[in-house]
Chains A and B, each alone.
Chain A
């Protein structure tokens, strides 16, 4: 697939969308409903609605392992649109959100970007590569900024032109604006982000102008036990005895707030432990819980 486009006489290689695996998503009906409302998606047909108003750029907030990323993946599955993701971190720079300069192996075809040939093997040329955000804007896809509060404030400044009506990002390196390729792309572009608010105690906070542009806030807390139970059943297909043992263990450890990720890891490890060692289900859970939960 040709992933190279020309914008203002510059050849730019587009980023690849994320491969969203098929999944039988469980629960989170309220959160999904809010996400759909923020993005202007019809609840029944799951189609983007025509509206004169720009969509809202919702922000998912919640502790780790609660399912924020999975909600976004499910939105991509519902809409059947390309999803582009940037993972926020402390070293991110403004250029990472727009265009990057990458080495291009001369052995590749002009319309491919390949990293197979070692850099020292032959003379290198450089190519411009659009970030996932720039690609999503250009093509009219879905964009997800994960852990956005880990990013230094200066790296977030290009977002202000993305999150208001302009829907464009400026590349300081090349001096060009990346805008939607046509009106359809403009109407289809959607932005969302996620963060763990607990990081604010270490100074990782969003600047005001980004906080106000990423509304509404959709709180994603740890699920209730029933939902956790269904997720484990769907993901790992444990035996009913193991599920019952998990329920007993969970009720006993009432003070623990178990994330979905922790629950899946715990159950998976306990199942393997039982298979290898041969203890009872409950004993297996008791044995492996400290390794997973750090007690």
Chain B
């Protein structure tokens, strides 16, 4: 009868066949130990040479910090590598043995690394998901892959048969002395060992002593090892470690954990304003992807494709970095180009070239992740340091805001058409309204209806270089923890220009590193008086002598009273605001003060321009022009509602909008900012 047990019973010996560095097998080992209730009377036997155990104990004591155990023979360039990671089943077995005070023995044969030279690894693209082993049991899974694991490169003769006989012999010697023996070995060896146990043979080789020639030592792994031996998604291994510490390792579910990770990232992405629908679509798409590919465990590439399709590029970048990070040992900066989604994201090199040594292993992982490390461009030279921290708005944000200003101008210039329908009065006007006519027959009041197209006779306003007011959300007249802030420009020699004026939240931290702080503000509303990326020279050429009347300067700021108390405002509107004035009226009045003829305002549909504001505008010979808020995509609105700031120790140039300086900032910090701005 097929059962879903995580082990295969053979007398009092219990096999858990594993694939190295696949986390699900660690979960199977946890479940096995729990189900069998192993204690001091039992033994855990692992597929390692005995002389390596001290090094493994040392490396295991460093977990979750990952190390590699290197076995070498003096005078040989060939070394055996074994990564010690939480996702390795043998490591899990050793850890459990130490934690539960169970005897542990290494039963594999002592082999010099040079004898492993003929082993090569290939990738099986359709290798069955190891999640199936958790779902259907060890025996079922082993049966599924038995053909693949009985041939090269998974099983290479004569060396593997030699090892299996040896391991069976070791188990045969030990099983009378222990209540139960848990054997953790590679999937390729489980069945052969069981066969040898059932059919005892003469011992051909007895090696009771350690091989004094092979020395094992613990070393720090390189990045490729780290990424390659963490089961595809290092963050999931980190979560496993955390759950393991809480005693929940036996219930660990990779798919659920991944969905929780994405959900948490989604919740924390307050600068991106995703709705729950985005997450639901992501979860469902990922689910469908796994189902159609016959998988239970998520794959990194599929997760990234689903993220990009259901969220946006900046969030996908954030997910990418987060999933590839592992405690403090792997901190990701982009190490490869994002290849087309139908290729693996990375490709592996055969062995580490930089040392000139050849590394071999006892077993191949049929499903290893491939990574390519492309040499990064050297960082641009560091700028001369300044004393204080200088801040700058992320230049692409300003470029984007300028593009949206251009779009708003275009929308304002479009002629507005309106169509009116009324009953036929003798003239066909602009033609029959067929629908209305036909519907009137249904309503038993039949008649002929005609259309009249009304086009506003007024010439569209020549709206250029005027202030634009953006109100993104209608709220209470003041919002706690929100304040008026401004973005400045200009040169050191001239007055500091106020390019935009915003009603923003407190600054929230994005990332904080030794030489850079990224923070962001949520924006409820703002006025852009001019283009935000224009240099002082450009602004002078646009506005000429009227620049002081069109763009406020820092000296124009004063404390004004509004519904939220006191805040930074423009002196021109001081008399027009009081403790009852909502924040949006403050912005509208500020824009009006610096308009030549028109103020564009982009607001939600429910917004009504207050009468008193209109009267003030009329008294000044100015007018408000509304641009439909729904003319902007959700992504455009979301981007306008967040302002990113960078703080670092660079020397601010004479003109803060110097294009060369902007280029420098973008080049230097572009990679880090990809997780915020796409």
Contacts and interface: CB of A to CB of B under 8 A. Distances in A.
Q: State whether these chains interact.
A: yes
A215 B284 CA distance: 10
A208 interface: yes
A53 interface: yes
A216 B285 contact: yes
Interface string B74-116: 0000000000000000000000000000000000000000000
B628 A203 contact: yes
A205 B633 CA distance: 5
Interface in A157-215: 173, 197, 200-203, 205-208, 211-213, 215
A225 B540 CA distance: 47
A268 B407 CA distance: 37
Contacts of B306: 216
B289 interface: yes
Nearest to B438: A101
A213 B634 CA distance: 13
Interface stretch (B273-281, B473-481, B591-599, B616-624): B273-281
Contacts of A202: 410
B439 A215 contact: no
Interface stretch (A40-48, A72-80, A108-116, A278-286): A40-48
A126 B442 contact: yes
A34 B309 contact: yes
B309 A216 contact: yes
Nearest to A224: B340
B636 A200 contact: yes
Given A153-B630, A201-B407, A212-B277, A30 B285 contact: no
A206 B633 contact: yes
B315 to A, nearest CB: 13
A218 B442 CA distance: 43
B633 A173 contact: no
Given A43-B292, A205-B631, A207-B630, A56 B407 contact: no
Contacts of B292: 36-37, 40-43, 49
A147 B441 CA distance: 32
Contact of A37 (B288, B411, B442, B632): B288
Nearest to B293: A43
Given A126-B441, A212-B275, A101 B288 contact: no
Q: How large is the interface on A (under 10, 10 to 19, 20 to 34, 35 or more residues)?
A: 35 or more
B406 to A, nearest CB: 9
B305 interface: yes
Q: How large is the interface on B (under 10, 10 to 19, 20 to 34, 35 or more residues)?
A: 35 or more
- A interface SS class: mixed
A51 B284 CA distance: 11
A218 B435 contact: no
Contacts of A101: 435, 438-439, 441-442
A99 to B, nearest CB: 11
Contacts of A206: 633-634
Interface string A6-42: 0000000000000000000000011000101110111
Contacts of B282: 216
Interface centre among A30, A197, A202, A203 (most CB of B within 10 A): A203
A95 interface: yes
Contact of A217 (B310, B438, B636): B310
B291 interface: yes
Contact of A49 (B278, B291, B310, B628): B291
Interface string A129-163: 00000000000000000000000010000000000
Contacts of A259: none
Contacts of A216: 281-282, 285, 306, 309-310
Given A205-B633, A215-B281, A30 B293 contact: no
A95 B435 contact: yes
Nearest to B312: A217
A103 interface: yes
A93 interface: yes
B643 interface: no
Nearest to B441: A126
B11 interface: no
Interface string B432-443: 000100110110
A190 to B, nearest CB: 13
B345 to A, nearest CB: 14
A155 B287 CA distance: 33
B355 interface: no
Given A101-B439, A126-B442, A201-B410, A215 B342 contact: no
Contacts of A40: 288, 291-292
B634 A211 contact: yes
B418 to A, nearest CB: 13
A226 to B, nearest CB: 12
Contacts of A49: 291-292
Interface string B253-297: 000000000000000000000010110011011011101110000
B341 interface: yes
Contacts of B342: 29-30
18 contacts: A30-B342, A38-B285, A51-B291, A56-B285, A93-B435, A101-B439, A103-B438, A126-B441, A203-B407, A203-B411, A203-B632, A205-B630, A207-B630, A208-B634, A212-B275, A212-B278, A213-B277, A216-B310
The 10 closest A-B pairs by CB, nearest first: A216-B309, A203-B631, A215-B281, A212-B277, A205-B633, A37-B288, A101-B438, A30-B342, A43-B292, A216-B310
Given A49-B292, A101-B439, A205-B630, 12 more contacts: A34-B309, A40-B291, A40-B292, A95-B435, A203-B632, A207-B630, A208-B634, A211-B634, A216-B281, A216-B282, A216-B306, A216-B309
Interface of A: 29-30, 34, 36-38, 40-43, 49, 51, 53, 56, 93, 95, 101-103, 126, 153, 173, 197, 200-203, 205-208, 211-213, 215-218
